[in-house]
Amino acid sequence: MPRFAAAGFAALGLALVGVGALQATVFAPQETVRSSLRDLSRQPAVTTAIGVLEMGGPRVKVTAESADPAATVFLGIGRAADVEAYLGQSERLDVVGYTDEGELLTQSRGAGALPAPSTADVWTVSVRGRGSASLVWPRTAGQWRLVASAGTTGQAPSAVTVTWSGREHTSSAPTFIALGVLLIVGGGVTLAMLWSRGRPGAHVYVEEYEDEGVRV
């Protein structure tokens, strides 16, 4: 019976090492998270809800593209309260998260046209580009929101891509592997000892002692 238990522990150890290896390779968390919104024609300007810019990592890169290469694409990030004051009740598409399949989750809000964001000065950072624009934002204390638009009015660009990076991961792979190795070694040593004691020579040796009445 002890042999079965030792073998079981060793097998469990092997399994844990395997799981650890899988976590460190196949199931390893991604260094960057990239999510997109596409085919946004005739949609209002795209904005991010509070917390979205920080949710996937400490550094975020936002890229917006317009189907019209001559259109001015605008990206701006400002304090959440200021951006909300600018947005008012106007229609927009709020990004509220992302899926594992790489799509940004959105919610439609408000009604009525939004004036072109490039005419306002609530942006702590902003960029304008012909056909496309890109902006990198490091995690910054406070609440921040982004607005992406294209053209002379507050319309959406044709595509928006958000890439978060720099996230520190706490992988459980080392724990699995270390525990697995311990169980393998423990189980293996126990098996070896039991096997050693179970050999015929060993029994004679013990029996001889027993016969001599020395000690067991």
- Could you say whether residue 181 binds other proteins (CB under 8 A)? no
Residues 60-79 that bind other proteins (CB under 8 A): 79
- Could you say whether residue 18 binds other proteins (CB under 8 A)? yes
Closest to other proteins by CB, 36 or 68: 36
β-sheet bridge partners, residue 108: 93
Phi/psi-derived region of residue 34, left when phi > 0, alpha when psi is between -120 and 50, beta in every other case: beta
Among 25, 70, 99, 169, binds other proteins (CB under 8 A): 99
Draw the binding track, 123-162, toward other proteins (x: CB under 8 A; -: no contact): xxxx---------------xx-------------------
CA gap 75, 84 in Å, rounded: 15
Stretch of 38-46, 117-125, 192-200, 206-214 contacting other proteins, by CB under 8 A: 117-125
Q: How far is CA 112 from CA 71, 88, 91, in A?
A: 22, 10, 5
- Could you say whether residue 21 binds other proteins (CB under 8 A)? no
- Could you say whether residue 91 binds other proteins (CB under 8 A)? no
Closest to other proteins by CB, 37 or 158: 37
CA gap 166, 60 in Å, rounded: 9
Closest CA to 166 of 36, 37, 26, 30: 30
